[in-house]
Amino acid sequence: MAETAVGGEGAGMLGTGLTKDAKNRHKAFLKFFVTDRGELENDFLFKSFKVTDEIFTKPPQELYKCICPNDIYRFLTKLAFDRPTFDSKNPEHRPIHKRADTLEAYRRDVGLCLGYGNEDYKKDPRTGAVSGSPAFSHVIRNLIKKMKDFQDRDEGAESKETRAFEFEEVLACLQLNEELEEKEKGTATEDEQAQRISIRGV
């Protein structure tokens, strides 16, 4: 059985201050969590839960208390690698499905919906008691850092962001256009060149 997390009441999921995207990300996590734990553990608690809208709307408190950092880690890894675990030394294991900022958004929204706040997750080595949010643990931070390292090596998911051209890039495009025009002049027939001159009014 996984370590018990204490302090969260799950009130965030029922609150009115969460966006639709945040709730949908939390639903995706709960669906993965129930299914993943059911496969990993032969435990009645998880076998008794059915993946229904009722669980997503009002998850039972005993379910929330079972969530630990490793569950969120496996969920985020599944999103990025399409598998709940990965070996960084295996060239076939690359996070080509999600980028680090997307995982950060999922981590943030899952944490909000759990109702623990953003307090760092801590475990007492003597008593085993835990406090804080499972979403704000060092294993999750390390995972997102590794995603950024993959991206820095161009081994991660491609960015979908758009941006304006920088000044040097604009100049490079203009120069390339001039070179193409010069090349066309060299290969154009006499009739084509005469037609261009006529159009330009030269």
Give the burial string for 78-102 (b: 16+ CB within 10 Å, else e).
Answer: bbbbeebebeeeeeebbbeebbbeb
Taking CA atoms, 49 is separated from 5, 30, 31, 96, 143, in Å, by: 19, 11, 10, 32, 29
Please compute the mean of the pLDDT values over residues 171-181 and round it to a whole number: 78
Return the domain boundaries, the chain: 11-152, 167-200
Would you give the DSSP letter of residue 4?
A: P
* DSSP three-state, residue 131: strand
Please compute the mean of the pLDDT values over residues 29-55 and round it to a whole number: 74
Cβ neighbours, 10 Å, residue 130 = 18
Threshold 0.75, pTM exceeds: no
Give tens-digit pLDDT for 123-141: 888 888 888 889 999 999 9
H or E segment to which residue 183 belongs:
helix 167-187
Give tens-digit pLDDT for 93-125: 888 889 999 999 999 988 888 877 778 888 888
Q: How far apart are the C-alpha atoms of 183 and 191, rounded to whole Å?
A: 16
What confidence category does residue 3 fall into, taking pLDDT thresholds of 50, 70 and 90? Answer: very low
Among the listed residues 47, 58, 81, the one whose alpha carbon sits nearest the alpha carbon of residue 12: 58
Q: Which two tokens stand for residue 184?
A: 């066309």
